Copies of this chain bind each other. A is one copy, B any other.
Amino acid sequence: MAEKDKTKTISGFSSMRKRDKIKWMAKTFFTDPEAVMRELMSYWHSSDEQQKILDGFSENTVSNFPMPFGLAPNFLINGKTYCVPMVIEESSVVAAASSAAKFWMTRGGFKTEIIDTKKLGQVHFLWFADKQILTDHFQSIKEKLIEDCSDISANMNNRGGGILDLELIDFTDKKENYFQIRASFETCDSMGANFINTCLEQFAKSLYEYGTNITGDANALEVNMSILSNYTPECRVIASVECNIEDLGNFKGSMEAHTFARRFRDAIEIAEIDPYRAATHNKGIYNGIDAVVLATGNDFRAIEACGHTYAAEGQYSSLSHCKIEKGIFKFWLDIPMAVGTVGGLTSLHPIAKRSLELLENPGAKELMSIIAAVGLAQNFAAVRSLVTTGIQEGHMKMHLKNILNHLQATDTESEQAFSHFNDKIVSFNAVREFLQKTRDVKV
């Protein structure tokens, strides 16, 4: 470590008071520490109590990072109309979702089907004794493991959920001595992470105890780790839209309905064939999905890991599909996701709580439906733009607007800029230079 860098390390940081953390950071890394401190503190909530709650969600928190909280109204899903809260920093996403929602509202809306809501967890262990002992005893091991969890699962059982099954999986062809217990759970309206992980850690204790008993050997097995799996292919929802091809209309006067339908289906087939396209295609779906996941206090890393792993069954491919049959255009999204509407941050984060109220306090299945519909809407709008007008014109306009806002351009300057950049690439520097020139001329 260079000598000057030693001043950049710190001990006992986590126990420092928030103001002292900010002060240390500002003085150590910034040339304008006072301004940095003022700026970070300007994002604190005016109520100390509220801010304390926000600070508690993570560690070493010094401020709030503001993400845009927007609304996509007119979502007709399974016959019910929603105004969907979306938290996303990328432009055009909320506009696209809203536009697709409105389009499908007059064409029957979105329909969804919940395949199942089964969650999974795993106890990974090495079994050094005779394999036969393990397989012979697995039924009784399973009963004991479930029984030992009865206190832990009592509440979840009362809510209609609990431990569903335990399965022994032999991985010894891939790694010596490696076995796994794959457990399935129903966690009702909660995402269930705490419940599942507590059960699994108890399973591990019981497994060790019982394995030791039946083999008479304290070294018969070693539990490596016990943790839920974010890959829950059975906790899945299918969202779909369909209409007569003629009813697809003529988007921005770009092409007639049959051509559009065929080009749209081609684009989906391309995403099914080519992983390089599929990644981007699915990324667009998650633009919509993650925005609702964030808004409702759910965990987008979990949702992404699950969906991409599902997309990777076989060759990595598209999560949405399209069919044209007997004059009907059908488009659907088939996607696993584990979300909760109770527990976690759902009732702790003030805006996440309001988001769920805005959705009229859905259960987990209804939230899965809403999220999948938004993902499908997002994908519809993106592919529609791609196969008709292209996306750049719209994107460039949004980007230019943001930069003009930032540079506090007047209305006249903005008008001039829009005209100037009509056929040019928008960049922060290019816009700043343009404004400087315009302003110099005026002076």
Contacts and interface: CB of A to CB of B under 8 A. Distances in A.
Nearest to A266: B224
B231 A276 contact: yes
A428 interface: yes
Chain A interface size, under 10 / 10 to 19 / 20 to 34 / 35 or more: 35 or more
A128 interface: no
Contact of A39 (B42, B70, B93, B354): B354
Contacts of A401: 56
Interface in A174-202: 174-175, 178, 180, 182, 194-195, 197-198, 201
Contacts of A43: 45, 66, 69, 351
A30 interface: yes
Given A39-B350, A42-B45, A73 B122 contact: no
Interface string A78-96: 0111110011111111110
A215 interface: no
Interface string A203-240: 01000000000000000001011111111000000000
Contact of A68 (B57, B198, B357): B57
Interface stretch (A134-142, A325-333, A364-372, A384-392): A384-392
A251 interface: no
A226 B278 CA distance: 14
Nearest to A26: B358
A172 to B, nearest CB: 11
B98 A405 contact: no
B66 A45 contact: yes
A278 B63 CA distance: 33
Contact of A56 (B46, B309, B402): B402
A396 interface: yes
A227 B408 contact: no
Given A152-B425, A267-B124, A309-B308, A54 B66 contact: yes
A269 interface: yes
B309 A428 contact: no
A324 interface: no
Contacts of A269: 175
A290 to B, nearest CB: 6
A129 interface: no
Contacts of A427: 155, 194, 343
A53 B386 CA distance: 28
**7 tightest A-B contacts by CB?**
A308-B308, A312-B312, A64-B66, A231-B279, A58-B68, A283-B305, A225-B386
Given A42-B47, A204-B390, 14 more contacts: A2-B80, A9-B73, A25-B71, A40-B354, A56-B402, A66-B351, A155-B427, A194-B392, A197-B391, A227-B280, A229-B280, A279-B308, A311-B312, A348-B428
